[in-house]
A and B are shown apart, each in its own frame.
Chain A
Amino acid sequence: MIKYHLHHLRELEAEAIYIIRETAAQFERPAMLFSGGKDSIVMTHLARKAFYPARIPFPLLHVDTGHNFRETLVFRDKMVEEIGARLEVRYVQDSIDKGRAREEKGPNASRNVLQTVTLLDALEELKVDAAMGGARRDEEKARAKERFFSHRDEFGQWNPKNQRPELWMLLNGKKHMGEHFRVFPLSNWTEMDVWMYIQLEKIAIPEIYFSHEREIILRDGVLLANSEYIMKKDSDLIETRTVRFRTIGDMTCTGAVESPASTLSEIIDEIAVSRVTERGTRHDDKRSETAMEDRKKVGYF
Chain B
Amino acid sequence: MSDFSSEGYMNMELLRFTTAGSVDDGKSTLIGRLLYDSKQIFEDQLEAIEQRSQQRGFEHVDLSLLTDGLKAEREQGITIDVAYRYFATPKRKFIIADTPGHIQYTRNMVTGASTANAALILVDVRKGILEQTIRHSFIASLLQIPHLIICVNKMDLVDYSEEAFSKVVEEYRNLSTKLDIKDVNFLPISALKGDNVVEKSTNMPWYHGSTLMYLLENLHIGSDENHIDCRFPVQYVIRPQQTEYHDFRGYAGRIVSGIYKPGDKVKILPSGETAKVKTIELFGEQITEAYAPMSVTMTLDRDVDISRGDMIVRENNVPSMEQEFDVMICWMNANNLQVGGKYAIRHTVKDARCVIKDIRYKVDINSMHRNEQDKEIAMNDIARITVKTTVPLYFDSYRKNRHTGSIILIDEATNETVAAGMIV
Contacts and interface: CB of A to CB of B under 8 A. Distances in A.
Interface string B93-114: 1010000000000011011001
B343 to A, nearest CB: 11
B88 A192 contact: yes
A293 interface: yes
Contacts of B84: 137, 144-145, 187-188
Contacts of A49: 282-283
A231 B271 CA distance: 67
Name the residue in B85, B86, B114, B248 with the highest tally of chain A Cβ atoms < 10 Å from its Cβ.
B86
A124 B284 CA distance: 36
A190 interface: yes
Given A49-B283, A161-B80, A165-B417, A276 B43 contact: yes
Interface in A146-171: 160-161, 163-170
B32 to A, nearest CB: 13
B145 to A, nearest CB: 13
Interface in B390-424: 402-403, 406-408, 410, 415-417, 420
A12 to B, nearest CB: 7
B207 interface: no
A192 to B, nearest CB: 7
Contacts of A196: 6, 9-10
A4 B82 CA distance: 30
A188 B407 CA distance: 22
Contacts of B72: 160-161
Contact of A268 (B4, B86, B308): B4
Contact of B88 (A168, A190, A294): A190
B70 A14 contact: no
Interface residues of B, number: 82
Given A6-B294, A8-B13, A11-B293, A167 B69 contact: no
Contacts of B10: 7, 9, 196, 200
B17 interface: no
B239 A145 contact: no
Contacts of A13: 295
B80 to A, nearest CB: 6
Interface in B194-234: 221-222, 225, 227
A62 interface: no
Contact of A52 (B82, B239, B297): B297
A254 to B, nearest CB: 16
Contacts of B44: 276-277, 280
Contacts of A268: 4, 6, 9
A106 interface: no
A142 interface: yes
A265 B4 CA distance: 11
Contacts of B3: 272
B93 A8 contact: yes
Contacts of B69: 141-142, 144-145
A280 B347 CA distance: 42
B14 A166 contact: no
Contacts of B227: 4
B34 to A, nearest CB: 15
Contacts of A168: 114-115, 402-403, 406, 408, 420
Contact of A277 (B45, B241, B347): B45
Contacts of A73: none
B12 A7 contact: yes
B259 interface: yes
Given A15-B293, A55-B242, A199 B6 contact: yes
A7 B417 contact: no
Name the residue in A25, A55, A165 with the highest tally of chain B Cβ atoms < 10 Å from its Cβ.
A165
11 contacts: A9-B10, A15-B295, A22-B235, A51-B238, A144-B83, A165-B110, A165-B417, A168-B402, A168-B403, A168-B408, A273-B2
Given A145-B80, A190-B86, 13 more contacts: A4-B289, A5-B13, A6-B14, A8-B14, A8-B92, A9-B10, A14-B254, A17-B282, A25-B236, A53-B242, A168-B114, A170-B408, A188-B86
Interface of B: 1-4, 6, 9-14, 42-45, 48, 68-72, 80-86, 88, 92-93, 95, 107-108, 110-111, 114-115, 221-222, 225, 227, 235-236, 238-242, 245, 248, 250, 252-254, 259, 282-284, 289, 291, 293-295, 297, 308, 332, 344, 346-349, 402-403, 406-408, 410, 415-417, 420
